[in-house]
């Protein structure tokens, strides 16, 4: 059974003065999710936005919200993001002492639980929860900023995970470009976060369509 190939543009580097245009562009460009990078200036050295802006984005798109929580103490915020309209809530394994309980809580809130791990974090740290989550996010950059370069050894983590779970949703996030998305897909990823390589171009709709075409035609 083939698994869905999904482009999830990250709005972190979108033009926030014209966010509705950006959201419409990726919808027309064939995106499957909107990826929201939630940063608290504590777990990562950057601050982005919270549940309030996420709720506004939810009103401006038909696409499911893919909320990537790069925050300390995620337990205190998952309910707010569920209320804001999140479809997927992803927590970083490095930010909680009670991952099992937190993932079950996210599902109780009616959202799809997902877990993310930083480049240097071993895959073993999430193997026990593979039956609880609907997706695993393999960070291919050190989190906190868009526009960084993909770290090659992270593709080996994707490859290992795909061998372990042939049908699981495996998301890759950070440094994805038109010239390396083929490698990420070949390694086994099927959900691709793309930020600056879409919103850093003059025509995000056409660029998003190129990415969508790439992953569905390869």
* Region binding Zn ion by CB under 5 A among candidate stretches 34-42, 55-63, 94-102, 205-213: 34-42
Cβ-based neighbours of 91, under 8 Å, separated by 6 or more = 69, 74, 78, 99, 102, 103, 106, 113, 114, 115, 116
Which residue number has the CB closest to Zn ion?
A: 68
If one asks whether residue 95 binds Zn ion (CB under 5 A), the answer comes out as no
Query: Min. distance of Cβ 84 from Zn ion in angstroms?
Result: 17
Number of residues that bind ligand DX5 (CB under 6 A): 20
* Region binding ligand DX5 by CB under 6 A among candidate stretches 15-23, 54-62, 92-100, 193-201: 193-201
Which of 40, 66, 134, 173 does the annotation list as catalytic?
173
| Pair of tokens at residue 165 | 């779970």
Sheet with 6-9, side-by-side order of all strands? 6-9, 191-194, 169-173, 135-139, 112-117, 86-92, 65-70, 34-39
To the query of whether residue 37 is one of the catalytic residues in this protein, the response is: yes
If one asks whether residue 68 binds ligand DX5 (CB under 6 A), the answer comes out as yes
Among 91, 115, 117, 194, binds ligand DX5 (CB under 6 A): 194
Note whether 122 and 128 are within 8 A (CB).
no
Q: Site residues (CB under 5 A) for Zn ion?
A: 37, 68, 173
């Amino acid at each position: 059974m083939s698994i869905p190939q999904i482009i999830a543009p990250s709005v972190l580097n979108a033009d926030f003065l014209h966010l509705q245009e950006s959201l419409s562009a990726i919808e027309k460009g064939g995106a499957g999710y909107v990826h929201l990078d939630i940063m608290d200036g504590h777990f990562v050295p950057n601050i982005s936005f919270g549940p309030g802006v996420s709720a506004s984005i939810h009103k401006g798109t038909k696409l499911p919200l893919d909320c990537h929580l790069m925050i300390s103490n995620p337990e205190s915020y998952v309910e707010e993001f569920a209320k804001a309209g999140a479809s997927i809530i992803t927590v970083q394994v490095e930010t909680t002492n009670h991952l099992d309980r937190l993932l079950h809580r996210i599902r109780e809130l009616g959202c799809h639980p997902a877990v993310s791990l930083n480049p240097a974090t071993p895959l073993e740290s999430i193997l026990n929860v593979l039956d609880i989550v609907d997706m695993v996010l393999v960070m291919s950059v050190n989190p906190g900023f868009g526009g960084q370069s993909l770290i090659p050894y992270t593709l080996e983590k994707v490859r290992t995970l795909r061998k372990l779970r042939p049908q699981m949703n495996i998301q890759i996030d950070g440094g994805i470009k038109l010239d390396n998305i083929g490698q990420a897909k070949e390694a086994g990823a099927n959900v691709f976060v793309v930020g600056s390589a879409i919103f850093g171009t003059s025509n995000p709709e056409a660029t998003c369509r190129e990415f969508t075409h790439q992953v569905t035609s390869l």
